[in-house]
Amino acid sequence: MKRSKKNFKNAHILIIGSGIIGKFNALELSKQGFKITIADPQKQKNSSSAALGLLIGKMYQKSKGRSWELRKTSNELWPKWIKFLKQYNSNLHIEKPLIQLTTEQKNFEKLSHFISHHPNRGLKVLERDSTIIQNISKIFNMDNLKGIISNEDGRIDPITLLKTINIYLKVKKINFIKEKVIKIRKFNNQWISTCSNKVDIKSDVIILCNSLDALKLIDLNFHNIKLKPVLGQAIEISLNKEEINLLTLPKHFSINGTNFVRTDKNKIIIGSTDEYDIKPKENTFEELTDFLENKPQWLNKNNISDKWFGIRSRPEGEASPILKSLEKGLILCTGFYKNGILLAPACSNWISEEIENHLL
Ligand SMILES: Cc1cc2nc3c(=O)[nH]c(=O)nc-3n(C[C@H](O)[C@H](O)[C@H](O)COP(=O)(O)OP(=O)(O)OC[C@H]3O[C@@H](n4cnc5c(N)ncnc54)[C@H](O)[C@@H]3O)c2cc1C
């Protein structure tokens, strides 16, 4: 028998994990009127708060396949979400543009070729004598930079984003349980999730948004899901006033795949590497900067003012991310090893459509 519309909205949904994926799902579903509980032992220390927040949407160099479709959906949804979330924090915005640079002629030719075949993406080749390239070359001691610019891609500050969603969830009185879920089971068409403090939470649906640890909660004899940890690292460099003025640099750009985010006139963040590991490396600085042949003087270890990392989950044997209904009332949203911030709206959009199959 189908649930009535009233019962449908009365359904209780437990979201396990409060990174950007869990939070965005909570945002979308609570806007639809569902009763939501989020469980996570920690609110702040996860890979979402370690992220740089670059939204590589239009710059993504594919134009078909699931990965592109998810990006396309996120590209369309981000402006609507920003407009909505601005009601809770007027500082939230996407800082544009995004710049991708390379020293490799072959890579540059690939980028230029992509641009000429996709005129509707709003991408442009940066001229060698453009102010942007000249300024970056000067500060980084480089003379062979080439690249492209996307005026429609940009960066959102992940911490501001997470905090803004928190404000909304608080206003909506969403129940937040600061506990780890250690076991889930089905009983009489309901799901029972046991927390580490032995408290049980009853719900009609569970959405697993707890990255690698989702594997600990599902029966791997029935569900063939494999995830690998992927380490992402970042360092912050702070300079003395006299050393160099970073204000001539764009706010964010990448050189040969390494991302740079200028956060102040004397501060720049550098990230991230993709290592199949769970511990940060001793030589993070070298890993992030050794691609520069003639490192400028200001870019040295003594200027590191902060350093952090995050562990993401990468699916093995299937594409990232994993958005799957495992059984009635159990949904898996994991495997966001890259671009989880970018893809969060596309993920919550998928959830909002999928949830009906679990409740009707
Ligand atoms: C250095 C770095 C730079 C990055 N840069 C970018 C970028 O520029 N752009 C971009 O789009 N993406 C970027 N990413 C990737 C992005 O951060 C991830 O894809 C995204 O954060 C994944 O979000 P998540 O919610 O799946 O996981 P997480 O943020 O890791 O959240 C998972 C949550 O689950 C909780 N949890 C685990 N087990 C349980 C349990 N049993 N019970 C309850 N809760 C549990 C954890 O405490 C955690 O809070 C970057 C990542 C890193 C590390």
CB atoms within 10 A of CB 237: 23
What is the pLDDT, as a whole number, of residue 4? 53
Name the residue of 218, 233, 252, 341 to mutate for ligand 1: max ligand atoms within 8 A of Cβ: 341
Tell me what the mean pLDDT of segment 194-214 comes to: 98
Cβ–ligand 1 contact at 48 (below 6 Å): yes
Atom of ligand 1 nearest to the CA of 23: 25
What type of residue is 246? Answer: L
Mean pLDDT across 77-81:
98
Q: Which of left, alpha, beta for 258 (phi over 0: left; psi -120 to 50: alpha)? A: beta
Nearest to 28 by CA among 90, 73, 93: 73
Degrees (nearest 5) of the Cα angle 291, 297, 303?
90
- For residue 251, the CA-to-ligand 1 centroid distance in Å is 23
- Cβ–Cβ under 8 Å, residues 307 and 284: yes
Task: Give yes or no for residue 2 having a pLDDT over 80.
Answer: no
Mean pLDDT value across residues 137-141? 95
Give the H/E segment covering residue 84.
helix 66-85
Q: Is the CB of 234 under 6 A from ligand 1?
A: yes
How crowded is residue 316: how many other Cβ atoms within 10 Å of its Cβ? 11
- Kindly give the distance from the C-alpha atom of residue 308 to the centroid of ligand 1, in angstroms, as a whole number: 13
154 lines ligand 1 (CB under 6 A): no
**What would the mean pLDDT of 55-84 be, rounded to a whole number?**
96
Mean local confidence (pLDDT), 222-234? 96
The answer, yes or no, to whether any atom of ligand 1 lies below 6 A from the CB of 179, is: no
Check pLDDT > 70 for residue 203. Answer: yes
The residue whose CA is least distant from atom 33 of ligand 1 is 17
Question: Which atom of ligand 1 is the closest one to the Cα of 48?
Answer: 21
What pLDDT band is residue 273 in, cutting at 50, 70 and 90? confident
**Tens-digit pLDDT profile for residues 295-318:** 999 999 999 999 999 999 999 999
Residue 186 reports pLDDT greater than 90 = yes
SS3 234: strand
Percent with pLDDT over 70 in the chain: 98
Residue 127 pLDDT level (bands cut at 50, 70, 90): confident
SS3 267: strand
Neighbouring C-alpha atoms within 13 Å toward the C-beta of 331? 29
Cα–Cα dist 310/328, whole Å: 32
290 burial via Cβ count (<10 Å: 0-12, 13-18, 19+): exposed
How many angstroms separate the alpha carbon of residue 210 from the centre of ligand 1?
Answer: 8
Question: Quick check: CB of 72 below 6 Å from ligand 1?
Answer: no
pLDDT reported for residue 1: 38
The pLDDT, as a whole number, for residue 242 is 74
Q: CB–CB of 2/326 below 8 Å?
A: no
Tell me if the pTM is above 0.85.
yes
Q: Is the CB of 288 under 6 A from ligand 1?
A: no
Locate the ligand 1 atom nearest the alpha carbon of residue 54 and give its number.
Answer: 8
Ligand 1 centroid to 17 CA: how many Å?
A: 9
Residue 247 Cα, ligand 1 centroid: separation in angstroms? 30
| 243 band by pLDDT with thresholds 50, 70 and 90 | confident
Average pLDDT over residues 127-136: 94
Which atom of ligand 1 sits closest to the CA of residue 39?
Answer: 43
Q: Does residue 51's CB lie within 6 angstroms of at least one atom of ligand 1? A: yes
**Cα of 103 from ligand 1 centre, angstroms:** 31
Residue 60's nearest CA partner among 81, 47, 75 is 75
Residue 278 is predicted with a pLDDT of: 82
Residue among 29, 54, 39 nearest 232 (CA): 54
345 Cβ closer than 6 Å to some ligand 1 atom: no
**pLDDT-derived band at 9, boundaries 50, 70, 90:** confident
DSSP letters spanning 32-67? TT-EEEEE-S-SS-SHHHH---EE-STT-S--SSHH
pLDDT at 44: 74
End-to-end CA distance of the chain: 8
Confidence class for position 268, pLDDT limits 50, 70, 90: very high
Confidence of residue 6 (pLDDT cuts 50, 70, 90): low
Q: Is the CB of 136 under 6 A from ligand 1?
A: no
Checking if the pLDDT of 128 tops 90, the result is no
Q: CB neighbours of 113 closer than 8 A, spacing ≥ 6?
A: none
The two tokens of residue 151 are 């005026």
pLDDT score at 53 = 98
Domains annotated for the chain, with CATH where assigned, are 5-89+158-226+317-359 (3.50.50.60), 98-151+228-315 (3.30.9.10)
Q: Separation of 47 CA from ligand 1 center, angstroms?
A: 3
| pLDDT single digits (tens) 345-354 | 999 999 999 9
pLDDT of 310? 94
Which DSSP state fits 352? H
